[in-house]
Amino acid sequence: AALGLYFPRKEYLENVYIDEPAGMPLLRIRALKDSHEEVAHFHLCQNLIISRARSHENNWFQIREKTGVLYLSKSLDREDFNMLSVGNWMPLSKVMLYVFLSSHPFQEKECDSATRTAVFLSLINATAPACSSLTARQLCFTEMDLSFHIKENKPPGTFHQLQLPSVHHLCQNLSISYKLLAAEGVPFRYNESTTGVEVTQRLDREERERYELIAKCTVREGFREMQVEVPFLVNVLDEDDSPPFLPNGTDTADAVVEFSRKEGTVLSTLTVYDADTTPIYPLESSRKKYTGTIITDDPWISETFRVEHIFDEIHFSPNGSQVRGTRHEYKLVLNKSISVTEHRSFQLDVLVNDTEFHGPERSVMLHFNVSILPVSIQFSNITYQFTVNRNAERFAQIGKICIENCMKFRGVNITYKLLSPNASCYPVSILQGREDKYGTLYVNDSSVLRRPECKEVQYIVQAMDKQSRKHTKTLLTVVLEGTFLKKEEDCPDSCAISKHRAECEECGGLGVLTGRCQWRQGSGKGITTNYSTCTPSIKTCPDGICDVVEGRDPAVCPQDCTSGNIIGGHGKGIGNLGIKSGHGICYCFPRQNCYCEKDDIKEQLCDDVCKTVI
Amino acid sequence: LAGPPSPPGLAPPGWRVPVDCVRANELCAGEPSCSSRYRTLRQCLAGRDRNTMLANKECQAALEVLQESPLYDCRCKRGMKKELQCLQIYWSIHLGLAEGEEFYEASPYEPVTSRLSDIFRLASIFSGMDPATTSKSNHCLDAAKACNLNDNCKRLRSGYISTCSRELSATEPCSRRKCHKALRQFFDRVPSEFTFRLLFCSCKDPACAERRRQTIVPSCSYEDKDKPNCLDLRGTCRTDHLCRSRLADFHTNCQATFQSLTSCPGDNFQACLGSYAGLIGFDITPNYVDASTTSITISPWCSCKGSGNMEEECEKFLRDFTENPCLRNAIQAFGNGTDVNLSP
């Protein structure tokens, strides 16, 4: 800013009483300078702001242009007081004035300089109290806390007046003296002759940013002496006077692109420190002050990479005291997904620039050693072999198909497909979820399993990368084993319907691997994720995830997939699907309700009467 | 120099009862001179600050005419019909009149005249017990029971609890927007004898204090991955008329003052607690930071990290929640079932 003068406070506070005489000083405002030559001129905006909406012409208050003493130019009588109080919202009437500051005499009565401070005057509906009725606290200090801010790197000067002008004016028979209690070497001094507090030297925020002193006041009236102490705080305001630097001198980092190739992947991070503070509010302007730019002529590089800048506050301890500083992190990020075939390495330079620092070392260069490695699309096993029981039902999950390193892939879309060699025996299929990196092999046609001529079926599995169309194949053998057993009659088609262990384990249902449902015995304590239930396969159901095969038919695993009502103590799963936790035994009627309840009649299933019948 | 005690709960002399802004807008629309000046003023205010606006003769004339109209000091009521519309009218006039960076803003809401003692009277009627004699019980549990016995309270409470605890996906634990909306409905539509008991119950053991902390389902409505800077959060709140009004109301009613015994403006606990509850369901939602029984610490979900040269201001803003004697006294007084004794 062109104007170096500033106020050491954002607002001042003072009381005004009815019928105080014209000429009465209320408050002395001090300003600090940018250079010794500057002279401060104070000016009042001729507008009293009453409540937020209402305002009134200022007929009562004036400020001395040279000294900053705010005084009553006209006594405030009861009528004035009532007029200013009308429409005031708070129980206490307050008016606000703006005081402006300029380095030259005010020409016109302008009201819009950026350098201003607010003075709040509490209008008190009484005449000024007698000096004898005031406490030492009231005689020495106002209600305003003594807290100031001083800019670093500015010349010394007086920034506060301890003596209260109104008290000094009214209570002349009292002796009021002040002292500033401070540790040795603190750059503040109380000047007894002016009652002003001075900062005695240029401050450096990077050395120390907060000074806590005590203002002590002694009031003497004849032989009576009273003392009062209040905290006196000075915060040092920061300006950009430190260049960026590298922690441990590290300016180089490796950035390897291999399995993660997705847009948005963070490849590597380098850190830059700065002893200055950086406000995170407003965020965008701080980002603009501290830039990070990729230096390159290669359009491919500027399209493929971007730099993300985040920063946070850290603490430095220059000499025992803690001061705030900034850690800037520059992350090299993929700006688009990279094809699996891409293969190159190069050095990528990022120029970091502290735009508001005015020294020669305002920028540092960061280097990323980028290596983009191709990934191969291939199966690690030469062949897959799975065995399937002839009693398996439709939607039984046989196994997973996955190419080498497939679970590490990000931003590589592999699709799996079965190429069937003979059309007559074709019991299995492959399904792949939208986000799945693997294919799930499952029984698609259980009637084929029962046919004696189908014994060992061979397939070719193909995996293909969507983007590059690169693909690979391998052999898959499905061996049918076991003998087909006739199904129990009266069994439901879903395992989840069974409420008891016995009926569960003697029936089959959709998705079973060996012709029988499996019983999961829960812990039985309250509402738990480990509830008791009947399922086609404990491995896949319920596991809290409604996978792509289970999602095909609501009868396979409603415990993971139901979106209907659940009656009884339970917790719902992610996205309101399935039963995440339940009380006792949970069972479901597919496409209808699920129930979770404690099985209280377990022992009574066969009571004395029933035994007698047997 | 301390002022004399302010008249408790009474309007200052000469203070006229304001009409609500929706009504004031209707009155103004019926008068050609008022409505044209109102239009002019709204154009004047668009994108200009107070001083540049006042420099314009036409704008100044519009302002002077409107000073006499009911629009000028119209107010809104919490939970009134068309509350948002009312606040929009209020801010359409006041936004440009306020200085942008004003620390405290005046509340657009009517002052609260009821007292905590009114709640205690009601509470002892419906619960059939005197709050002072049940010192051994878990007050927060009692509050939940009392709410469940009231159809309206039970419905809206279970409404926000189920909304706030519904998991959307592995990365999104809940819909914060819907949770906040449900919370706002609860605190706007359920009488404060129920809501205050849930929010401000007094506790002697951690289980009770944890229940108190959990009242607003903080995992969804309060906590977030990152803690923003408090001034940033205030800035976000001020872009929204409702949030801005509730925050201004909180500052008006809970701002600690030396001028009263309780540190609260006008010694009015009820007003402070009401404006605290009015913040729940907005970006600035406050809550108990822990389940401590001995010290009550309240804070919105923000910190003063990264404030730069604004750290002093940020700390001041945060302290109005974390170290506010008015708010603390009000919560304790509610928990103890004691109100300020008002001398007639």
The residue among A276, A280, A273, A203 whose CA lies nearest residue A238 is A276
The rounded distance, in Å, linking the Cα atoms of B80 and B84 is 9
Contact yes or no for A110/A132 (Cβ under 8 A): no
| Among the partner residues A53, A573, A576, nearest to B93 by beta-carbon distance | A53
Binned at pLDDT 50, 70 and 90, residue A381 comes out as low
Q: What's the pLDDT at B122?
A: 60
Q: Percent of chain B having pLDDT more than 90?
A: 49
Contact A52 B73 (CB under 8 A): no
Would you give the DSSP letter of residue B84?
H
| Among the partner residues A52, A142, A576, nearest to B106 by beta-carbon distance | A52
The rounded distance, in Å, linking the Cα atoms of A319 and A556 is 69
User: Which long-range contacts does B115-120 make (Cβ < 8 Å, 24+ apart)?
Assistant: B115/B9, B115/B268, B115/B269, B115/B270, B115/B339, B115/B342, B116/B269, B116/B270, B116/B273, B116/B333, B116/B334, B116/B339, B117/B339, B118/B270, B119/B192, B119/B193, B119/B196, B119/B270, B119/B334, B120/B337, B120/B339
Q: Is A142 on the interface with B (CB under 8 A)?
A: yes
| Among the partner residues A87, A125, A138, nearest to B4 by beta-carbon distance | A125
- For residue A169, list chain B residues with Cβ-Cβ distance below 8 A: none
Q: Which helix or strand (DSSP H or E) is residue A127 part of? A: strand A116-127
Checking if the pLDDT of B133 tops 50, the result is no
Our CA-based measurement puts residue B10 at a distance from the nearest CA of chain A, in whole angstroms, of: 8
Phi-psi group of A515: left, alpha or beta (phi > 0 → left; psi -120 to 50 → alpha; rest → beta): left
Binned at pLDDT 50, 70 and 90, residue A90 comes out as low
| Cα dist from B158 to A144, A570, B154, B195, whole Å | 47, 16, 6, 13
Main-chain phi, psi angles of B315, to 5 degrees: -60, -40
Closest-CA residue of A relative to B55 is A111
Give every CB contact of residue A287 below 8 A, 6+ residues apart in sequence.
A309
Contact B166 A52 (CB under 8 A): no
Q: What's the pLDDT at B37?
A: 87
The rounded distance, in Å, linking the Cα atoms of B79 and B77 is 6
Contact yes or no for A413/A467 (Cβ under 8 A): yes
| Among the partner residues A54, A91, A138, nearest to B12 by beta-carbon distance | A91
Q: What's the pLDDT at A537?
A: 92
SS3 content of chain A, % helix, strand, coil (to 5): 10, 40, 45
Contact yes or no for B283/B236 (Cβ under 8 A): yes
The rounded distance, in Å, linking the Cα atoms of B304 and B230 is 6
pLDDT in tens, A177-233: 999 998 888 999 999 999 999 999 999 999 999 999 999 999 998 888 999 999 999
- For residue A134, list chain B residues with Cβ-Cβ distance below 8 A: 1
Checking if the pLDDT of B118 tops 80, the result is no
- For residue B14, list chain A residues with Cβ-Cβ distance below 8 A: 82, 85-86
| Cα dist from B234 to A11, A120, B103, whole Å | 20, 23, 10
Query: Strand A210-221 relative to strand A224-237: parallel, antiparallel, unpaired?
Result: antiparallel
Contact yes or no for A546/A511 (Cβ under 8 A): no
Structure token digits, residue A145: 């806390």
Residue to substitute from B1, B53, B323, interface A, most A β-carbons within 10 A:
B1
- Mean pLDDT on A288-317: 94
Q: What's the pLDDT at B54?
A: 65
Query: Strand A585-588 relative to strand A594-597: parallel, antiparallel, unpaired?
Result: antiparallel
Binned at pLDDT 50, 70 and 90, residue A255 comes out as very high
Our CA-based measurement puts residue A361 at a distance from the nearest CA of chain B, in whole angstroms, of: 22
| Among the partner residues B54, B73, B168, nearest to A87 by beta-carbon distance | B73
Q: Positive or negative, the Cα torsion across A362, A365, A366, A372?
A: positive
Binned at pLDDT 50, 70 and 90, residue A151 comes out as very high
Q: Amino acid identity of A50?
A: I
- Report the b/e string of A38-54 with b at 16+ CB within 10 A: bebbbbbbebbbbbbbb
The residue among A99, A93, A124, A107 whose CA lies nearest residue A47 is A99
Total count of residues recorded for chain B: 344
- Mean pLDDT on A492-500: 91
- For residue B231, list chain A residues with Cβ-Cβ distance below 8 A: 281
The rounded distance, in Å, linking the Cα atoms of A254 and A329 is 15
Checking if the pLDDT of B342 tops 60, the result is no
Residue A322 has, within 13 A of its CA and on its CB side, a CA count of 4
Checking if the pLDDT of B125 tops 60, the result is no
pLDDT in tens, B186-217: 999 999 989 999 999 988 888 899 999 999 99
The rounded distance, in Å, linking the Cα atoms of A603 and A610 is 12
Checking if the pLDDT of B306 tops 90, the result is yes
- The answer for A 197-256 residues in CB contact with B (under 8 A) is 235, 237-238
Top-confidence residue, B28 or B73:
B28
Checking if the pLDDT of A434 tops 60, the result is yes
Would you give the DSSP letter of residue A605?
G
- The answer for A 24-63 residues in CB contact with B (under 8 A) is 47, 51-54
Q: What's the pLDDT at B15?
A: 44
Contact yes or no for A84/A60 (Cβ under 8 A): no
Contact yes or no for A25/A169 (Cβ under 8 A): yes
Give every CB contact of residue A605 below 8 A, 6+ residues apart in sequence.
A500
- Mean pLDDT on A574-599: 89
Contact yes or no for A571/A580 (Cβ under 8 A): yes
Q: Amino acid identity of A533?
A: T
Q: What's the pLDDT at A1?
A: 40
Q: How many CB atoms lie within 10 A of CB A35?
A: 10
Write the DSSP assignment of A414-425 as a string of letters: EEEEEE-S-SS-
The rounded distance, in Å, linking the Cα atoms of A82 and A92 is 12
Checking if the pLDDT of B129 tops 60, the result is no
- Mean pLDDT on B135-164: 89
Q: Quick one: CA torsion of A366, A369, A375, A381, rounded to 10 degrees? A: -110
Contact B4 A575 (CB under 8 A): no
Extended beta strands in chain B, E state: 286-288, 298-300
Q: Cis bond leading into B32, ω under 30°?
A: no
Checking if the pLDDT of A52 tops 70, the result is no
**Burial (CB count within 10 angstroms: exposed 0-12, middle 13-18, buried 19+), residue B303:** middle
- For residue A87, list chain B residues with Cβ-Cβ distance below 8 A: 15-16, 73
Binned at pLDDT 50, 70 and 90, residue A456 comes out as confident
